[in-house]
Chain A
Amino acid sequence: MSVDTATVAKIASLARIKMTEAEIDAMVPELNGILAWVEQLGEVDVTGIEPMTAVIPNRQRLREDVVNADPQTGGDMRDAVLANAPAAEHGFFGVPKVIE
């Protein structure tokens, strides 16, 4: 499979990365080179093979059903959570207007 400029523009849009036409043109051959190379995986016989889900067998844990069981990942951290926000107002993240 190979990609053209329209496909690359579509991927850039899905990935939310603004790209100029020149950047898209430059990326088409790069992506095609990489995609042509990974294409060789198609020749591997995977009949009856399960896709990997966990590289090391592990069990899913549940934490205790307690509020703020771990203070570092619990609540009441509004100011710390907002401390690095580019725009924070009235205790919320600020974003450009989304509703006209």
Chain B
Amino acid sequence: MTELTDLGIAALRDGIAKGDFTATEVATAFNAAVEAAQPALNAFIVTTPDKALEAAAKVDADRAAGKPLGKMAGVPIGMKDLFATKGVQTTAASHILEGFVPPYESTVSRKLWEAGAGMLGKLNLDQFAMGSSNETSAFGNVISPWRRPGDATPLAPGGSSGGSSAAVAARIAPAATGTDTGGSIRQPAAFTGISGIKPTYGRCSRWGVVAFASSLDQAGAMAHDVTDCAIMLEAMAGFDPKDSTSLDLPVPEWTANLNADMRGKKVGIPREYRLDGMDADVAKSWDDGIAWMKDAGAEIVEISLPHTRYALPTYYIIAPAEASSNLARYDGVRYGLRELPEGAGLQDMYAATRAAGFGPEVKRRIMIGTYVLSAGFYDAYYTQAQKVRTLISHDFTNAFREVDVILVPTAPSSAFALGEKSADPLEMYLNDVFSVPASLAGLPAMSVPAGLDRNGLPLGLQVIGKAFDEQGVLNASLAIEQRAQFSARPAKWW
């Protein structure tokens, strides 16, 4: 018999609506799964079983009363601990926000609760979403549920949404929110064999999301499959006057319009992504993806995105610059940690608080950002990076005159071991090579599982679409999903 925790969003919601099981039974099952896995995986910073039960009770009561149920009715989810949740500690996985209890609810989480979702807890992440392996959290590493066969070496769940990816892959949450600044939804989804979509910049409100790099940050959905991602994204997206960059557009009916028929569509394959020394299994999975697109009826077109190689260095100027500005708010005065050494003045208190509260990677990025924005260097670094960003965006605009979507790998490798890349910040940054360009251009992009590599670990394929064309991204991803037939799951060891 299928366990309730094996089910995804659509199956849970529809099963509850039909009366096959109750929302309370679902919440109880996932609460138990979370509790059992927490010591081994550390996917959550805090768990909120009562919140999950409370939301479930309301859904069960509404159903009994014959009231209409929401898109996510009875689905308990994990909430990345970057979203402010009223009355529940929100930390961004940083010591500097430990104990911070927001007096308000982020727009994205509010919309999910209004759609009938419940909260299992706040998910671990890289500190301030800065990282690609979930090793920068002040609350400990998240351990991937995946292992290489016959090898207990702990692997990275990806980052920064590593708690989200681990929880969904381990089936202790049917879905989770993520945020993506340079690949933080797509890369962890790829590492753990799940699906994840980052919509067009501005689709999901940033109000109440702890800011990292505001021109790049975008919330999205992480779930078992493409359909579940479409359902969840519909519930999360929408115009919000409280975010000045929010798109004032209606939310399309992505789920109802899912269609894997790619006949008449053109899929671009950018030659610049085929790097020298590319991992053979990653290259093969990309070739598989191309074959699947053809099988679905698409025409394959080789394209050029000439500035691709400059995307990563551009990102590692712009994102730290914005972070250094955004994180100036952590001053030990208004909220969060305060370190007040004996006899310290105001300036000493700021410096001591930030020294004690921020982790090493956060400090490194604030330092880089402060340097590239400082007098005398601003034009050479920051202005130059913003100009190159314009060129990267133009590359995509030109390509999308010819093609409907672009297909590339999500990450240059499968999951690496914890500690394998954390000694060298640059090596870690290079893991974002395939995900950063779409972020710089604000485009919708999705990772779907493509298969397993020689180590028995998942690989993802990434579909990048035109601005506002989440539907095209979801449809091409669905065509891949139907042909990849990915059903591998991590063997339960936790």
Interface size on A, residues (CB 8 A): 54
Least CB distance, A52 to chain B, in whole angstroms: 4
Bound-state Cα–Cα, A18 to B352, Å: 6
Q: Which residues of A contact B442 (CB under 8 A)?
A: 55-56
A98 near B351 with CB under 8 A, answer no
Interface residues in B287-329 (C-beta closer than 8 Å to A): 307, 310, 313-314, 316-317, 324, 328
User: Is B65 engaged at the interface, CB distance under 8 Å to the other chain?
Assistant: no
Bound-state Cα–Cα, A73 to B338, Å: 25
Q: Which residues of A contact B367 (CB under 8 A)?
A: 8, 11-12, 15, 17, 27, 31
B345 near A15 with CB under 8 A, answer no
Given A16-B351, A34-B426, A42-B384, also A56-B467 (CB < 8 A): yes
| Residue of A3, A38, A56, A96 touching B313 (CB-CB under 8 A) | A38
Q: Which residues of B contact A80 (CB under 8 A)?
A: 103-104
Q: Which residues of B contact A49 (CB under 8 A)?
A: 387, 390-391
User: Is A67 engaged at the interface, CB distance under 8 Å to the other chain?
Assistant: no
Q: Which residues of B contact A61 (CB under 8 A)?
A: 241, 244, 248
B346 near A41 with CB under 8 A, answer no
Interface residues in A57-100 (C-beta closer than 8 Å to B): 58, 60-61, 63, 70, 72-73, 77, 80-81, 83-87, 93, 95-98
New contact pairs (18) apart from A49-B390, A93-B333, CB-CB < 8 Å: A13-B351, A14-B370, A16-B331, A18-B348, A34-B316, A34-B426, A40-B310, A41-B313, A41-B381, A41-B388, A42-B384, A52-B389, A56-B201, A56-B202, A84-B100, A86-B336, A86-B338, A93-B334
A31 near B368 with CB under 8 A, answer yes
Interface residues of A, Cβ cutoff 8 Å to B: 1, 3, 7-8, 11-19, 27, 30-31, 33-35, 37-38, 40-42, 44, 46, 49-56, 58, 60-61, 63, 70, 72-73, 77, 80-81, 83-87, 93, 95-98
What are 7 A-B interface contacts by the 8 Å CB criterion? A16-B354, A35-B371, A51-B389, A60-B244, A61-B248, A80-B103, A86-B333
Interface residues of B, Cβ cutoff 8 Å to A: 99-104, 200-202, 215-216, 241-242, 244-245, 247-248, 307, 310, 313-314, 316-317, 324, 328, 331-338, 340, 344-352, 354-355, 358, 363-364, 366-368, 370-371, 374, 377, 380-381, 383-391, 393, 425-426, 429, 440-442, 467
Least CB distance, A13 to chain B, in whole angstroms: 8
Q: Which residues of B contact A72 (CB under 8 A)?
A: 104, 242
Least CB distance, A73 to chain B, in whole angstroms: 6
Bound-state Cα–Cα, A23 to B340, Å: 20
Q: Which residues of A contact B334 (CB under 8 A)?
A: 81, 84-85, 93
Bound-state Cα–Cα, A16 to B344, Å: 14
B354 near A41 with CB under 8 A, answer no
A-B contact count (CB 8 A): 167
Q: Which residues of B contact A97 (CB under 8 A)?
A: 345
Least CB distance, B324 to chain A, in whole angstroms: 6
B387 near A51 with CB under 8 A, answer yes
Bound-state Cα–Cα, A46 to B385, Å: 10
A55 near B441 with CB under 8 A, answer yes
A84 near B335 with CB under 8 A, answer yes
Q: Which residues of A contact B364 (CB under 8 A)?
A: 27, 30-31
Least CB distance, B433 to chain A, in whole angstroms: 13
Q: Which residues of B contact A34 (CB under 8 A)?
A: 316, 368, 425-426, 429
Least CB distance, B443 to chain A, in whole angstroms: 9
A14 near B340 with CB under 8 A, answer no
| Residue of B103, B245, B350, B385 touching A58 (CB-CB under 8 A) | B245
